[in-house]
Amino acid sequence: MRTIDDLDVAGRRVFVRADLNVPLDGGRITDDGRIRAALPTIAALRERGARVVVAAHLGRPKGKPDPAYTLRPVAERLAELLGTEVAFAADTAGPSAREAVQGLADGQVALLENLRFEAGETSKDDAERGELADRLAGLADLYVGDGFGAVHRRHASVYDLPKRLPHAVGGLVLAEVEVLKRLTEDPERPYTVVLGGAKVSDKLAVIANLLGTADRLVIGGGMVFTFLKAKGYEVGSSLLEADQVETVQGYLRDAEKRGVEIVLPVDVVAAEAFAPDAPHGAVPVDAIPADRMGLDIGPESAKLFAEKVKDSRTVFWNGPMGVFEMEPYSHGTRALARALTESEAFTVVGGGDSAAAVRALGFDEAAFGHISTGGGASLEYLEGKELPGIEALRD
């Protein structure tokens, strides 16, 4: 794949597909990690005299403008971080976008409105996506794919547009792919994968693939209760995907045959309700009360998981250990993150909620080997899938 160093960008309009899908509380950005991750590529293009046209999505609007998902707050934060004005287009590929782009001088930046305000962005119809890609191509001379969090989507701006313009891979995507290659091609062992989050069904394909590459799987979060049920434990009112119990039992048998260690909690924090002020306490996994739900791994499990992380040379972590947004159920995720920072392993935080947790809980991002910007994309890469946005950037 060509990089931006291979492009002659001076005086040319460069379309940068970034990932600026940040969490918002009303109009306030609560975590600007993805915006900061996009800065190096945008800054490098500016320094070389490009006219930078940035595009991204935010949330899941239904193919039409929705003020709740406007990128205007992102434009304001991007301008602050770049230390320069960012022109904001009030539409994605219409008159306002054309005006904003035409007004750019060398080294200046414009941000287009949310790509998903156009139905063609996410359409499964090739012609509909192509029509949007044609309009976007009219705004630029060159294309740079730097939105790693979207490269697993066959979307107009990710897959169709680079086929219409001379293109290159951005620095962020290049760095992400290099890290994932390190995890899949020849990881330093022992290689431990820590999986959390709500649903085991979201992780089935990656678990199946990891049984052939990892030495150890450590399981926490809401998904663990399907594993505990598969082992014969009662899980009270905890999150449970009953239709996946048999599949998980198959994975447990497969792991045993392959010699892959599966590490499950020995205790959980169980509460009477999904609320921070609900009565709660740590209980062994074989004694979860019928009227309580597990909302975090317990203190003994936190110690066990930390030991497993520290006994590793490579660690990939995707998914929190509990409902970290509520303080009483944040301790398992905090303990795991601390163990990663204290480990001598190469540690990768796999994007999404895990990356958000690291920042929300106050950890120094530099203490981890790599924090991914794309949870879904990271998982699909580890599943062994070809990612459409990467495929489209190949020469």
Give the catalytic positions in this structure: 34, 199, 352, 376
Q: Which two tokens stand for residue 23?
A: 């969490």
Asked whether 282 and 301 are in contact (CB, 8 A), the reply is no
CA distance 390 to 388: 5
Asked whether 294 and 269 are in contact (CB, 8 A), the reply is yes
Strands 51-55 vs 109-111: parallel, antiparallel or unpaired:
parallel
Asked whether 140 and 14 are in contact (CB, 8 A), the reply is yes
Q: Which two tokens stand for residue 242?
A: 């009953």
Tell me the residue type at 379: L
Burial of residue 128 (CB within 10 Å: 0-12, 13-18, 19+) is middle
SS (H, E, C) 13-37: EEEEECCCCCCEECCEECCCHHHHH
Element (DSSP H or E) covering residue 107: none
Residue 176 to residues 37, 263, 340, Cα–Cα distance (Å) = 11, 27, 19
Which of 153, 195, 140 lies closest to 16 in space, CA to CA?
140
Strands 346-349 vs 24-25: parallel, antiparallel or unpaired:
unpaired
Q: What is the Cα 142 distance to its own chain's centre?
A: 26
| DSSP letters spanning 175-211 | HHHHHHHHHHTS--SSEEEEE-SS-GGGGHHHHHHHT
Residue 157 to residues 111, 112, 221, 224, 394, Cα–Cα distance (Å) = 14, 12, 34, 36, 15
